[in-house]
């Protein structure tokens, strides 16, 4: 009689879920409109450059690191006057702050990987000190309230 014992293979969870917040003073957004071939979809390219504004970047990422294309993220970027000590931006007002939203994924969604002007949602912030902002955002999958230090990227893991 042959007896053998096998340990059940433990399943590894390779999923991830996290927020990233960043505040960059003395910068601004350089926004360039992009139009596709049939002129139906308008998106924007942007970069953060040196300037006289403060740029906020908020992102939410979720996925499975087992696969190279197993994740997606949503990013919100906007700028405010450097002298501002608080802000509240909602809906159509985002255009006044160069507010852009981008859903990034390896997918066939028509609007994926194409930053566009934010038209829904809300973000607010208050400057707690010269180096710390408290930010609250509800845009797409981004739903967060936390503090962030100026010139430092903050990563908040949800797993």
Structural domain includes residue 5: no
Asked if 82 and 97 count as a contact pair (C-beta separation under 8 A), the reply is no
How much is the pLDDT for 7? 63
In a domain, 33, yes or no: yes
pLDDT in tens, 122-159: 999 999 999 999 999 999 889 999 999 999 999 888 86
Average pLDDT over residues 92-113: 85
Q: Is residue 4 part of a domain?
A: no
Q: Nearest 5°: phi and psi at 59? A: -140, 150
Helix/strand/coil percent split, the chain, to 5: 5, 60, 35
Instruction: For residue 9, tell me if it sits in a domain.
Output: no
Is 60 exceeded by the pLDDT of residue 2? no
In a domain, 83, yes or no: yes
- Rounded Cα distance, 76 and 117, in Å: 10
Residue 111 is assigned to a structural domain of this protein:
yes
Domain limits for position 92: 15-157
The rounded distance, in Å, linking the Cα atoms of 23 and 58 is 9
Q: Is residue 79 part of a domain?
A: yes
Residue 109: Cβ-neighbour burial (10 angstroms; 0-12, 13-18, 19+): exposed
- Kindly report the average pLDDT of the chain as a whole number: 87
Cα separation of 139 and 141, whole Å? 6
Distance CA 144, CA 135 (A): 8
Number of domains in the chain: 1
């Amino acid at each position: 009689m042959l007896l053998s014992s096998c340990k059940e293979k433990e399943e590894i969870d390779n999923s991830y879920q996290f927020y990233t917040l960043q505040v960059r003073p003395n910068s601004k957004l350089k926004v360039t409109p992009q139009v596709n071939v049939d002129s139906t979809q308008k998106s924007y390219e942007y970069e953060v450059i040196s300037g006289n504004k403060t740029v906020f970047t908020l992102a939410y990422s979720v996925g499975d690191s087992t696969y190279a294309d197993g994740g997606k993220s949503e990013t919100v970027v906007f700028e405010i006057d450097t002298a501002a000590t608080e802000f509240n931006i909602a809906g159509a007002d985002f255009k006044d702050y160069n507010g852009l939203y981008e859903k990034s994924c390896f997918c066939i969604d028509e609007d994926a990987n194409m930053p566009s002007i934010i038209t829904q949602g809300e973000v607010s912030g208050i400057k707690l000190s010269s180096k710390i902002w408290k930010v609250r955002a509800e845009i797409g999958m981004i739903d967060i309230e936390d503090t962030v230090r100026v010139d430092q990227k903050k990563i908040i893991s949800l797993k």
